[in-house]
A and B are shown apart, each in its own frame.
Chain A
Amino acid sequence: MIAYLEEMMDVLLSTLWDVAPIVLLIFFFQVFILRQPVPNLRRVLIGSVYVVLGLALFLMGLEKSLFPLGEIMASQLSDPAFISVDGNQDFLWYHYYWIYLFAASIGFATTIAEPSLIAVAIKANEVSGGSITNWGLRIAVALGVAFALAVGSYRIVSGTPLYLYILVGYCIVVVQTIFAPKGLIALAYDSGGVTTSTVTVPIVAALGLGLSSAVPGSNPAVDGFGLIAFASLFPIISVLAYAQFRNILLRSK
């Protein structure tokens, strides 16, 4: 019990430490530049306590459950003993199919639970007058991350150069931008940045590390990079596709 409380205090302190610069900045602007009281100060303070406490509990919970599990699962699934079918150690890229499936499904699942994406989805729903549904946007982003992690794992396994994928991805985004409804482009570009925070990054890091240390001939320090880059590029494509699809539906009505 006491150990839990101590751990809780640690996580709480480090969350407070993260929040401190923003609080100072807002405080400085309110007191010295804007020189006016914060509207509904009491509510805002209570809400801030919720945010810090909620984030601390969330992180502590993840560290007890999802992160160790994700690490174990990533290393078990990329273990040569698991992949080899009949003792054959000569792996081709398609022998890693469980890894691709795991990468895609864990990418989808963690993105759905990503708090900053929930925040953007709430805002988008509010601003669009409800026409962009909360779950519609989140599922579109999550599908993008799922695809990104599957392709990213394939890249680590096959050892193909990272920049090629990024360049092709950018070209797709540029072409889509020309045809997508203009109102949703900014939101789509934003979706790239929000996918990779609290929940997804540690899992993705574990996946990249486990995979590149298990794949023969790859160097974990160099090849482990790039998954996060994929996870912030592909959601732009999937949300732009969602915007185009939604536009077609609206027109046909």
Chain B
Amino acid sequence: MIIKLTKVLFSKLYSAFKDLIPIIAVVAFFQLLVIRQPLPDFGNVVFGALLVVIGLMLFIEGLEIALFPIGEAMADALTRKGSLFWLSLFAFGIGFSTTIAEPALTAVAIEAGRVASQGGVLSAERVDDYALGLRLTVAISVGFAIWIGVLRILKGWPIYYLMIGGYILVMLITIIAPDEIIGIAYDVGGVTTSTITVPLVTALGVGLATTIKGRSPLTDGFGLIAFASLTPMIFVMLYGILIFM
């Protein structure tokens, strides 16, 4: 029993370690052959790497026994309830609530406020309002994205029409958007999807596409994350137009 458990534990630890081999190789290559300076605080680095391996192993384990099942169970229960309203509200809620608390977004919003006030386009006392407005805009846009994505799975719309339409919109708005906002708007699309949101939302989409007749989990189930990185660009540029023009 104990031998078997240790074996399972070691094979899981090893598979988590395998995911980190590329990082170790890159750092070792550049440190030993290119930069050639001693690593500061080597003991701490090794200890940190150990924590990363254990953390990754636990996370993947939890993914399979908690996050995926929760996402699928919610998709199943909400379709069986058969209320578009509650499904829509849940979709919007999951996007909005996970984004508004996202630390990476808060950091980007504060940074963006600083940049705008240094550039002289924003008075110093409005920086906090601006950053909060930015966060709200992004959170609403992600809620909207998950909602549209869920609607797409229900209706069976092909994803590429929506995505290409979205891209064209991004390009058009870029032409009129003020320069101060464009870089931030483009970057913000990438920081919205956190490590806990992605598995939940993916399981939700795949779960919906599995329960609804005539949908394929592969073709229709994915795509929620894609919208969540597209709509923030559009919404943030519109916000910039509203604030700066």
Name A's B-contacting residues (CB within 8 A): 14, 17-22, 24-26, 29, 33-34, 36, 38-40, 43-66, 68-69, 72-73, 76-77, 82, 98, 102, 105-106, 108-110, 112-113, 115-116, 118-120, 122-124, 127-128, 142, 162-163, 166-167, 170, 173-174, 177, 182-187, 189-190, 192-198, 201, 221-222, 225-229, 231-232
Contact = CB atoms under 8 A, between A and B. Distances in A.
Given A25-B90, A55-B55, A170-B167, A221 B114 contact: yes
B200 interface: yes
A197 B193 contact: yes
A173 B226 CA distance: 13
Given A112-B19, A170-B171, A194 B225 contact: yes
B202 to A, nearest CB: 5
Contact of A162 (B63, B67, B160, B186): B186
Contact of A43 (B46, B60, B65, B228): B65
User: Which one of A110, A123, A170, A185 has the greatest number of beta carbons of chain B within 10 Å?
Assistant: A123
A128 B97 CA distance: 30
Given A58-B56, A73-B35, A113-B19, A196 B48 contact: no
A248 to B, nearest CB: 19
B66 A26 contact: no
Interface stretch (B3-11, B72-80, B128-136): B72-80
B195 A198 contact: yes
A113 B22 contact: yes
Given A73-B30, A162-B186, A193 B193 contact: yes
B48 A62 contact: yes
Given A50-B62, A54-B61, A18 B217 contact: no
Contacts of A124: 218, 222
B167 A173 contact: yes
9 contacts: A25-B90, A50-B61, A54-B55, A65-B47, A66-B52, A124-B222, A162-B183, A201-B104, A221-B119
A122 B63 contact: yes
DSSP majority for the A interface?
Answer: helix
A186 B219 contact: yes
Nearest to A20: B101
B240 interface: no
B45 interface: yes
B176 to A, nearest CB: 12
Interface in B53-99: 53-70, 73-74, 77-78, 81, 86, 90, 93-94, 97-98
Contacts of A24: 97
User: Which one of B35, B189, B195 has the greatest number of beta carbons of chain A within 10 Å?
Assistant: B195
Interface in B117-165: 118-119, 158-160, 163-164
Interface in B8-59: 19-20, 22-23, 25-27, 29-31, 34-35, 37, 39-41, 44-59
Given A62-B52, A113-B23, A226-B186, A50 B167 contact: no
B136 to A, nearest CB: 14
Given A52-B62, A64-B44, A201-B191, 5 more contacts: A65-B44, A73-B31, A108-B22, A189-B163, A193-B226
Nearest to A111: B22
A171 to B, nearest CB: 9
Contacts of B160: 177, 185
A109 B196 contact: no
Contacts of A48: 62, 66-67
B211 interface: no
Contact of A232 (B97, B182, B189): B189
